[in-house]
Structure 1
Amino acid sequence: MSAAQLVSLTLALLAGSVTLLGLVIVTGRALHRHRDRRNARLSAGVRPWLLELIGGDSEEVNEPLLQLAALDRRVWRAVEPGAISLLGKVSGNARTAMVRLLEQRGLARDALRNLSSLSSVRRASAAHVLGLLSHAEAAFPLVRLLSDRNAEVRATAVRALGQIGTAGAAAPIIASLARGGVPFQLVAQALIRLGPGARPALVEALSHDNPAERAVAVEVLGLTGAVETARALVGVLAGDSSDDVRVRAVRALGRLGTPVCLDALIHATGPAHPQAVRVEAATALGDLGSPRAVPALRELLADAHYHVAHNAARSLARLGRPAAAALTETVAERAGTPAAGHAWEALAIQDLQAGHPPRLPAPVPR
């Protein structure tokens, strides 16, 4: 075969492949549109029952529940995606009724079976459904999925375990961060949903080797107001090897607001601590809201690091009359210095919050 014939054959094969691909795409789109129209037609007559199911009280749902539970398989396949979508949007009696329907249709049973599917898409979809159903029996199988080879499956399992709310899943959820691929915020949200029952696992995680696990434990303890863990968090602030974990510990202590938190945060503003920790501690003292922090914050107005001084001033602006007096004295006694500038800014913020025109800055002495 000559070179010209070879080129012609190659072009012909390429043209045929492009034509075949085009036919596949067009056919696929046509089938998709046909399936959508068919499903819309099949579900149109059922939609009133769904609306009645989620709109009635507990004594009025039996009839639509029976009607929907008795649908033949073809019609149910058309209705099921919409029913699952509704489950994530309703609460109270409406949610209870939807869960009853989906359980009766075997959705939980099928999803449990699909958790061991060879398809990662099916495993993730099954985990998603079981989370929406808050299906307690799925907790242990979902924990196994936290070591799945697919990152999306692991992330979906974390979210589902948070929705189910089994406190015993806290330790495996925390450990999922070490495997990678699961977003930090997703793990934190799941742990928050587990409630106080997760706190023993969170406290234990404060001593884990992985800094991400320690960080998420600190973050969640602060967000959930676990005041009984304040001393443990003070220990993290004092000795953790990760600056990120220590910054999160500062933030958590500011949220908890116990006396031991105040002393630790004042100490954390000192020069022995990394700048990031000092900056966050200056803010956390404002979150704490204690007038006892005023002297320490006033001293920080003259700090050499801008953000430490700036955050100290913003915290003073939140601490009421004792702080206002300290700010006014700083403006008068340190006129023309950066400390006075920070103090004046904080006073201006207080004026605006009180609905008064902001005061003019003090003149710089010549």
Structure 2
Amino acid sequence: MRTVVQLVLLVSVAEAVLCLLVLCVPRVVRNRRERVLRRTAATTRPLVVEAAGGESPSARAALAALDRRSWKAAEPTVTRMLSRVKGSSHHTLTDLLVRRGAVDAALADATRRRSLRRARAATVLALTGPSLRADPVRGPAARHALHALLGHRSATVRETAVRALGRLGDPVSAGLLLTALDPPRRVAPGLVGDALVRLGPAAVDALTGAADGGDEQHRALAVELLGLIKDRRALPALSAALDDPAPMVRAAAAAALGRVGEPAAVAALTGTVRTDPSDRVVVAAAEALGLIGDENAVPVLERTVRRGPYRPAHTAARALLRLGPAGRAALGGIARGPDPAGAHARETLSLALGDRGGPDR
């Protein structure tokens, strides 16, 4: 009986030791590996900085010739550096990742089953995108892979793909980026908008189409983005959007026309200030006229100050101040009256005189 008890105790001790080994040995090995990688990364970091500076071909050659373990330690530094550099430095680091096979590995991982690998692949393609767009082979391959990821079940993968397409800068992606706003696998409008603005003029055709279709939130976003891109080709679409049935869209269109800043939009904006039933839209149109700075807007803005509700009148007074001598003269005439319009004008003129660093200056 005693022997049996001793045997049971020995088995229990052996099991406990085995469990400790199973739990501790991998952690010890992993910690040691991470320490080695950190030390190696510290030694290769100066080479990455020199290579990014573009003045040390020897640094680029040294990084390209690193053994596999050393490159594994240096690669995270290279990818982090990509987000901080532009131009020739970006091309240099992207070329290095291409030569080491990191970009091709990302293109392959973009089709893997695991979401984490796809998200990491999209991140690499996002960082290298500005330089990949000129690659006749990898550029289209990256675009195709990222287009497929827009419909992935993981929100993280979809969001990373949207960012990557914006950095890749391919005009073919504009229409598909707009579809990322649709349920059930939608991406936040802010991320999609940022990607489309990065595309710049290449996104104008897709956005002008979106400004005339879809729900009112999509239309409003489309006209807002056209204003941020500031391309004159959008003027007809933005002017047409001033007649949209949704006040949200009309206000966004007016603000966008102010950002574009073309005098050709003054006639449409003055018509909006004169006839639109929404105070929100009138305020946006008055602000836009102030930004454009065309003196032809003085009469309609003066009328709004004299007869409009508080917010439109107040905004119109500020806009008149931006229209030079003619606008100031109109404000001076209004300021002599004892009515609320006179108060708006006097307040605006006093702010202009007392705050020379303010926005109206």
Normalising by structure 2, we get a TM-score of 0.83
- The alpha-carbon deviation at position 107 of structure 1 amounts to 0.9
Instruction: State the match for 1:113 in structure 2.
Output: 108
Separation (CA, whole Å) in 2 of partners of 1:210 and 1:119: 34
Q: Which runs of 5+ in 2 are unaligned?
A: 1-18, 133-138
Instruction: State the match for 1:196 in structure 2.
Output: 201
Identity over aligned residues, as a percent? Answer: 38
Q: What code does the residue aligned with 1:349 have?
A: L
Q: Does structure 2 conserve the Cα–Cα contact (< 8 Å) formed by 1:152 and 1:181?
A: no
DSSP-derived class of the 1:118 partner: coil
Q: What code does the residue aligned with 2:283 have?
A: V
After superposition, the Cα gap between the structure-2 partners of 1:87 and 1:259, relative to the gap in structure 1 and judged at 3 Å, is closer
Q: Does structure 1 conserve the Cα–Cα contact (< 8 Å) formed by 2:220 and 2:252?
A: yes
After superposition, the Cα gap between the structure-2 partners of 1:113 and 1:210, relative to the gap in structure 1 and judged at 3 Å, is farther
Compute the RMSD of aligned alpha carbons.
2.5
Separation (CA, whole Å) in 1 of partners of 2:345 and 2:30: 65
Instruction: State the match for 1:77 in structure 2.
Output: 72
Separation (CA, whole Å) in 2 of partners of 1:310 and 1:85: 48
1:328 equivalent among 332, 352, 360 = 332
Separation (CA, whole Å) in 1 of partners of 2:325 and 2:290: 14
**Worse-matched range after superposition: 270-279 or 158-167:** 270-279
Instruction: State the match for 1:7 in structure 2.
Output: none
For residues 48-106 of structure 1, the C-alpha deviation after alignment (integer angstroms, 9 at most, x for no partner) is 3222212243xx32x22232122222222222111110111122332221111111111
After superposition, the Cα gap between the structure-2 partners of 1:149 and 1:340, relative to the gap in structure 1 and judged at 3 Å, is same
Separation (CA, whole Å) in 2 of partners of 1:141 and 1:210: 29
Instruction: State the match for 1:352 in structure 2.
Output: 354
Instruction: State the match for 2:269 in structure 1.
Output: 265
Separation (CA, whole Å) in 2 of partners of 1:353 and 1:29: 64
Instruction: State the match for 2:223 in structure 1.
Output: 218
Separation (CA, whole Å) in 1 of partners of 2:297 and 2:332: 16
Separation (CA, whole Å) in 2 of partners of 1:228 and 1:42: 53
Instruction: State the match for 2:60 in structure 1.
Output: 65
Instruction: State the match for 2:5 in structure 1.
Output: none
After superposition, the Cα gap between the structure-2 partners of 1:102 and 1:291, relative to the gap in structure 1 and judged at 3 Å, is same
Q: Does structure 2 conserve the Cα–Cα contact (< 8 Å) formed by 1:161 and 1:169?
A: yes
DSSP-derived class of the 1:200 partner: helix
Q: What code does the residue aligned with 2:237 have?
A: A
DSSP-derived class of the 1:166 partner: coil
Instruction: State the match for 2:47 in structure 1.
Output: 49
Separation (CA, whole Å) in 2 of partners of 1:228 and 1:132: 30
**Worse-matched range after superposition: 203-212 or 100-109:** 203-212
Instruction: State the match for 2:12 in structure 1.
Output: none
After superposition, the Cα gap between the structure-2 partners of 1:31 and 1:297, relative to the gap in structure 1 and judged at 3 Å, is farther
Q: Does structure 2 conserve the Cα–Cα contact (< 8 Å) formed by 1:42 and 1:75?
A: yes
For residues 119-168 of structure 1, the C-alpha deviation after alignment (integer angstroms, 9 at most, x for no partner) is 22221221111011113230111112112222221121111111111011
For residues 174-199 of structure 1, the C-alpha deviation after alignment (integer angstroms, 9 at most, x for no partner) is 11111354222222221122232222
- The alpha-carbon deviation at position 279 of structure 1 amounts to 1.6
1:285 equivalent among 285, 289, 301 = 289
Q: What code does the residue aligned with 2:343 have?
A: G
Q: Does structure 1 conserve the Cα–Cα contact (< 8 Å) formed by 2:126 and 2:168?
A: yes
Separation (CA, whole Å) in 1 of partners of 2:30 and 2:94: 29
After superposition, the Cα gap between the structure-2 partners of 1:28 and 1:277, relative to the gap in structure 1 and judged at 3 Å, is farther
Alignment of 1:1-366 (within 5 A): 34-57=32-55, 60-61=56-57, 63-134=58-129, 135=132, 136=139, 137-179=141-183, 181-238=186-243, 240-332=244-336, 334-335=337-338, 337-352=339-354, 354=356
Separation (CA, whole Å) in 1 of partners of 2:253 and 2:42: 54
Separation (CA, whole Å) in 2 of partners of 1:132 and 1:43: 20
Separation (CA, whole Å) in 2 of partners of 1:126 and 1:314: 50
Separation (CA, whole Å) in 2 of partners of 1:270 and 1:32: 71
- The alpha-carbon deviation at position 243 of structure 1 amounts to 2.2
- The alpha-carbon deviation at position 267 of structure 1 amounts to 1.6
